[in-house]
Structure 1
Amino acid sequence: MGCYQELGASVEVEFDESIILWHIATDLCFYDDDDDDDGRDAGESKLKRWSSCCFCSCSDHAPTADDSHLNDVSHLPAASREISNYMLFLLVMRPFMLTASIGQIRFGDTCAETKNFFLRGDELGAARKAAEALTKVKTEINPREVKGDRSKSVLFDACRLAEQLRRLERRKRWRLVAGVWVEMLCYAAGKCRGNFHAQQLSQGGELLTVVWLLMAHFGMGDQYRVEAGHARAKLIIEN
């Protein structure tokens, strides 16, 4: 969408860092969204039918009678936040399902720096107030130039990312955010080993496993290949 030069650094880092960066930035954009509360509630209700929409289409062509729904992004803030929360849940509670190197250390350092910045509330009002405080952080200076690399926190790097996203037009911003989360979800599903997917089935299963199976069905991912001499595709599960 023409934003890689400015935002590419946020997805070129380690995968766990990208998840935390985009999780915080998504939350900040969600609370700073231009729509009022009624618009947000309407967007959340559309989650029930978001699978029928072109979720992360990145084309900016003029809409026709068949694709006018591409201009409707009211469901994307809530949908993006759902995936964002789920990916952070995997990072903290199911780290074996992600290619996360020091994800829990980075998460812990980020939480510690966040607590030092403000006292976190449990209610929506408190969360919104905290988000407003973070949006006022000066982002001109790279945080690593101030604190060095001893702390693995990415809190203020995420504030910089959120500021860059807020400069985009709203429709483009949320289509971009949604597209990034779909790509990260698919990447994580494809990189998770088959035995970990199977292991979680005994505990009710994971959305990540459903995505993995859908990718295999459509011929996507490393676990899928067609061998010479065979007319049918084989699903490869490594133990």
Structure 2
Amino acid sequence: MSFGSIYFDIIPLYILAALVILAEVRDIAFYICSNWIKVALICQYVKHGSWRQSATIQRCIGCVLRSKGKLIRNWEDKMGQSSVLVLHPIKTPMALLRHLIHLSGNTKTPSAVKSAIVGALRKGYETGQINGDVPSFQRILHLQGDDKIIWTFGERGTAEIMLVCHIATTILGARLPTHQPPSDTDHISAANHISQYCAYLVAHYPELLPEDAEWCKSLYKAVEKDAKRALIGNYSRDSWMSEVEYRRRFIQLLSAERNHEVLKDGARLAEQLAEEGEEVAWKALAAFWSEMILYVAPSDNIDGHMKALARGGELVTLLWALVTHLGIVGRSDNTTDAATVDV
């Protein structure tokens, strides 16, 4: 009994406590060595004349400023990627490990994503929609050129809109493993990458979004759980199927009455987009996602972005810094989305 108590109860507890302490020490070191704290120290040093008279404070500030920050991960021009729908599950030990510890894939930010976001920002200035605030989200998805409305989101919150369009984008891009994907145009690349990045934010860093973080996480988990239940055992790899039939299979599975409303709306939206033609649909989705990521960029959650900078930075944090320097500090609707829908 003594042997079991020591080796199976006490030692794992000590190991867990040590890991927690090490994680906290690492976060403190990240914060102290970050560029953020260096700028803050310089500002305080300039503002307080007494600091400039103290040799001790000068030495401490000098040590912080000279620190190389080797523990700090600089932003590697990568964006997190996550998805509610896993259309091609890979049954390997690494894939299982990634699922168990909730790791998300990171990919280098494509130039198409940067061009789409900057293009949306430039368009907002040219049309006069941006004037100190980003324009309120129109809650519609429309075709580019003729402004035909494809879908109206009503009173849904930002996270719900993201997940509905993420599901539609994923279904529209579904390809059989045996089929060659189409040429990766800028619209397809921008829409797919920003879509998966927004899903990644909802799942892992909802505090950077304009909604309640816990509600966003619970919504993502509920939708993900329902998607797995709907798709389990229905992953088709028949090479004879056309892309249209392949997508139709997923639309039928996710449109079932018992599924979550977000799943059903995402499937219906995918069906409507497919009817418009892929080229037109991808152009509309690329415009939608670039406007969406700009809409969520303004934030007053400075602590959340500081933590993001300490762990290497996030794309949305860079956009937050960019729009803040441009004088964009809020949204023209000046409201925080209310999460009132049951998950």
Q: Describe the shift of the 1:177–1:130 C-alpha distance in structure 2 as closer, same or farther (beyond 3 A).
A: same
CA distance in 2, matches of 1:130, 1:118: 13
The C-alpha deviation readout for 1:177-233, integer Å capped at 9, x for no partner, is: 01111111111111352232122111111110111122223333429xxxxxxxxxx
| Distance apart, 1:38 and its partner CA | 5.4
Q: Describe the SS at the equivalent of 2:217.
A: helix
CA distance in 2, matches of 1:184, 1:156: 21
Q: Describe the SS at the equivalent of 2:327.
A: coil
Give yes or no for the alignment of 1:135 onto 2:248. Answer: no
Taking structure 2 as the reference length, the TM-score comes to 0.45
Give yes or no for the alignment of 1:197 onto 2:278. Answer: no
Equivalent residue for 2:138? none
Q: Contact conserved, 1:106 with 1:154, CA < 8 A, in 2?
A: no
CA distance in 2, matches of 1:137, 1:191: 37
Give yes or no for the alignment of 1:25 onto 2:136. Answer: no
Q: Describe the SS at the equivalent of 1:7.
A: strand
2:191 to 75, 80, 103: 80
Equivalent residue for 1:162? 270
CA distance in 1, matches of 2:299, 2:260: 24
| Distance apart, 1:169 and its partner CA | 3.3
Choose 1 or 2 for highest CA Rg. 2
Which runs of structure 1 show a deviation greater than 4 angstroms over 4 or more consecutive aligned residues?
Answer: 128-132
Q: Contact conserved, 2:231 with 2:253, CA < 8 A, in 1?
A: no
Taking structure 1 as the reference length, the TM-score comes to 0.63
CA distance in 1, matches of 2:155, 2:148: 14
Q: Percent identity?
A: 23
Give yes or no for the alignment of 1:109 onto 2:225. Answer: no
In the alignment, structure 1 segments of 5+ residues that lack a partner are 44-73, 224-239
Q: Contact conserved, 2:165 with 2:195, CA < 8 A, in 1?
A: yes
CA distance in 2, matches of 1:116, 1:138: 10
Q: Describe the shift of the 1:192–1:206 C-alpha distance in structure 2 as closer, same or farther (beyond 3 A).
A: farther
In the alignment, structure 2 segments of 5+ residues that lack a partner are 1-143, 332-343
The C-alpha deviation readout for 1:61-108, integer Å capped at 9, x for no partner, is: xxxxxxxxxxxxx22112211111111111111111112342222222
Q: Contact conserved, 2:191 with 2:285, CA < 8 A, in 1?
A: yes
Cα RMSD (Å) of the superposition? Answer: 3.4
Equivalent residue for 1:3? 148
1:188 to 287, 292, 296: 296
